[in-house]
Structure 1
Amino acid sequence: MSERIMAAAERVLETGVGLDEAGVLAVLRAPDEQLTPLLEVAHRVRMRWCGPEVEVEGIVSLKTGGCPEDCHFCSQSGLFASPVRAVWLDIPSLVEAAKQTAATGATEFCIVAAVRGPDARLMAQLRDGVAAIREAVDINIAASLGMLTQEQVDELVALGVHRYNHNLETARSHFPLVVSTHTWDERWDTLRMVRESGMEVCCGGILGLGETVEQRAEFAIQLQELDPHEVPLNFLNPRPGTPLAEQPVLAPKDALRAIAAFRLALPRTILRYAGGREITLGDLGTREGLLGGVNAVIVGNYLTTLGRPATADLELLADLKMPVKALSAAL
C-alpha cells in the first residue's frame, strides 16, 4: 500500500473520521497487490469504531412487482417485460416470515414494498402487519416503502418502526441514467424527514450500475454527508427484462475495493452485505468482505433473487468468531 493511502487509513483508525473524496478514490483505484492491506486496515477500523458484533437482518416483500417507477436495475417495475408480477403478501404470511427471521437469530425484520410511495391501502396493511408481528415475535421492525410524506413519516414513528430504508442507489451525477420517473433529490427529501423524525436512517445503493470509479467515490461521500445509521451495499445482479439485463457483473476485486473504501469513508456506520454478493463475490469473497469492513448481513433470500442460506452465513460468522448482535443491544 502506498504510504499516502496507508497514512490516510491510519488517520481514520485513530480519529474515526472518514476519508475525503480524494482518499476514497485512491482506495478504489488501488492496484491488486494493495487490496489485502486495504481490507486489513478497513477491518481494524470496523473493529475499533463498530466492535466485533454483526447485525443480522431478514427482509420480506409486502407488495412485490407492479411498481410504476423505471429504476433500470429492478425487475419489480411494471414498465419492463420482466417475469415479476404484482403480488400482495397476506398478514399470516408476513408474521410467519418474521418468526422465521427471528429463529435465525436476526434482530431486524424489514418490510418492503415495491411502490413509488405508500397509498392508503399499503399503510393499512402495514399497520395490521406491524401489530400482528408485535403480538407474535420479539424483533425490531424496519420498513422500506419508497418516498414518504411527512404524515406518513409520523405514522411510522407512531407504529414503532425504528428504522427506515430508502436507498439513494447511486451517485447524484449518475442517477438520471438509472431512474427517470423521480429524482435523487426526492429520495433525499424523504431521508431528511426520516432523520428529523428520530427513526434510524438506512440508506445505501447498488454498485455496478455503469457508474465510473469517480462516481463510486462521489456516492460514498454523499452517504457520508447523510450520515446514515446503516448502509446496505448491493452489487448488481442483472435481471432479465430490465434495461440493465446485459450489464456486466462487478469484478470481485472491485467489489472488495469498494467495501474497503466505503468502510474507510464511513468508519462508524453499520455496513451491510445486501443483494448480489453471492454472484459477485461467492463464498470466499463473502468471507473476505466480513474481514474487510462489513459488519452486518441480510440472511436468506432477497426480494426477487436468491441469497445464501441463513445457516451458511451464521456458520461463517461463528467460524470467524464474530458474535451476532443481540436483540437487547439493538433496541
Structure 2
Amino acid sequence: MTATAIHEAVRRAYGVLETGEPLPKEVALELADLGGEEVMDLVSLANKVRNRYASPAGESLHTCSILNAKSGVCGENCRFCAQSLHNGAEVEQYKLLSNEEALAAAGEVYRQGVRRFGIVTSGYGYRTANPEFLRIISMIDRLRQEYPGLQVCASLGMLGEEPAKMLAGHHVAHYNINIQVAPARYGELIADSHSVEARMETVRRLNRHGIPVCCGGILGVGESMRDRIDFLYALQELDIAVIPLNVLVPIDGTPLEGTATLPVTDILKTFAICRLAHPRTIIKFAAGRETVMKDFQGLLMLAGANGFLTGGYLTTRGRDMEDDRRFMRQLEHFSAVTAP
C-alpha cells in the first residue's frame, strides 16, 4: 500500500467521527494494511469515536465479572478451550454449583462495586428447559433478590426456544455467546462438533425475546487480518449490544498450545477497526488483557474499547479487582482530558 493510499484510508475513516455511522467494509480492509506510525493515528481516531459515541450511560467504562458455574466435561471440540473432553488440558471439573456457592461468589464482586455478574456453564447448551436449566433460573432469581441492582448475565451455550423465552422472563441482563471468528472459518479454526450457524441462530432467538446479546470472538487462533475484518462485519448483521474481544491465551493440552502471540500492532488495528465498524456498541476487552498484553493493555483500552472483564476468567487467572479499580481511574482521567 502506498503512503498516499494510506493517507486516504485514514482520511475516509474520520467520517465515522463526524457522522457516527459505521465504517464501510472496503475502508476497513484498507486500514488493515496500515503499519508504523499510521497505526497510532488509527488508535487515536478510535479513541475519539469511543468517547463521542459509545460511553455507557452514567459511567465511562463497562465492567463485569463472571462465575465458572459448571466446569469441564464438555463434549464440544473447541480447539482453544481447556474444558473440552477432546483436549488434554488439566482443568478442574465439577457439576453445576449450588445457589449458595453462586451467592457467595457474587457477594465478593458485589462488595467490590461490580454490578454485572455472569453465570457461565460448559457444554453445548440447553435445547429445552431441563432440570439443570431450571436450577440456573433459580440461581438467577436468588442473585437478583439477594443483591439489589446486580445485573445478572448468562453464558450457557446454544439455546432452544423455551430456554431463551424463560431467560427473558427472568430478566437476564445480557447473554453471552461468541461466534469467535469469521463464520466461513469457524469449522476449521474453532470447532466442527457444532456449527457457527447454531450460535448465530441463538443470537437471533435471544434478540427476538428482547435479551441484549454480548457476542464477539477470539484473536490469534490462526486467522488472517482479512478474516478479522470478515468477523467484525458479520457481527454487524446480528444486532449485538456488547462485543467482547479476547486475545488467545494458549493452554497446555489444547491444539493451540504453543501458539505464538499476535503482534501488538495487529491487535491494536483489530480493536480500532472494531470501534469504527461499531461506533456505538460497547466493546469489551476480555481474556488476554493481563496475561498476554501485559505492558500494552492500557494502549489496547485506548484503541476503542470501553469495557473489560475483571477478576478471574473461566480457566485462566485474571487480575485483582483493586488493581483494576486503579487502572479504571487512570483510564477515566485519560478519556476525560482527551475527549473531543
Correspondence 1:158-177 to 2 at 5 A:
158-177=169-188
4+ aligned runs moved over 3 Å, structure 1: none
Cα displacement (A) at 1:322:
5.3
Give me the TM-score of the superposition, normalised by structure 1. 0.93
How much identity, in percent, do the aligned residues show? 33
Retained in 2: the 8 A contact 1:55–1:106?
Answer: no
Cα displacement (A) at 1:239:
1.0
Aligned to 1:95: 103
Taking the aligned partners of 1:296 and 1:252, their CA distance within structure 2 comes to: 19
Retained in 1: the 8 A contact 2:173–2:212?
Answer: yes
3-state SS of 1:110 partner: strand
Distance 1:74 1:34, change over 3 A: same
Cα displacement (A) at 1:125:
2.1
- Match among 106, 114, 117 for residue 125 of structure 2: 117
Retained in 2: the 8 A contact 1:35–1:257?
Answer: yes
3-state SS of 1:60 partner: strand
Aligned to 2:113: 105
Taking the aligned partners of 2:332 and 2:306, their CA distance within structure 1 comes to: 12
- RMSD value, Cα: 1.7
> What 5-or-longer segments of structure 2 have no aligned partner?
335-340
Retained in 2: the 8 A contact 1:230–1:271?
Answer: yes
Describe the superposition over 1:78-118 as per-residue Cα deviations: whole angstroms up to 9, x where unpaired: 12111014213222121111112222222211100011013
Describe the superposition over 1:134-172 as per-residue Cα deviations: whole angstroms up to 9, x where unpaired: 222120011000010011100101111121111001101
Taking the aligned partners of 2:87 and 2:328, their CA distance within structure 1 comes to: 38
Aligned to 2:202: 190
Greater relative CO, 1 or 2 (CA 8 Å, sep 6+): 1
Partner amino acid, structure 2, of 1:274: A
- Match among 13, 31, 37 for residue 33 of structure 1: 37
Taking the aligned partners of 1:313 and 1:253, their CA distance within structure 2 comes to: 24
Aligned to 2:46: 42
Single out whichever of 210-219 and 27-36 deviates more from structure 2. Answer: 27-36
- Match among 263, 272, 275 for residue 284 of structure 2: 272
3-state SS of 1:112 partner: strand
Aligned to 1:86: 93
Aligned to 2:146: 136
Aligned to 1:206: 218
* 1:55 counterpart = 2:44: no
Partner amino acid, structure 2, of 1:64: S
Give me the TM-score of the superposition, normalised by structure 2. 0.91
Taking the aligned partners of 2:112 and 2:73, their CA distance within structure 1 comes to: 30
Residues matched between the structures, number: 323
Taking the aligned partners of 2:115 and 2:30, their CA distance within structure 1 comes to: 35
Aligned to 1:24: 28
Partner amino acid, structure 1, of 2:289: R
Taking the aligned partners of 2:92 and 2:332, their CA distance within structure 1 comes to: 41
Taking the aligned partners of 1:322 and 1:202, their CA distance within structure 2 comes to: 27
Cα displacement (A) at 1:28:
2.5
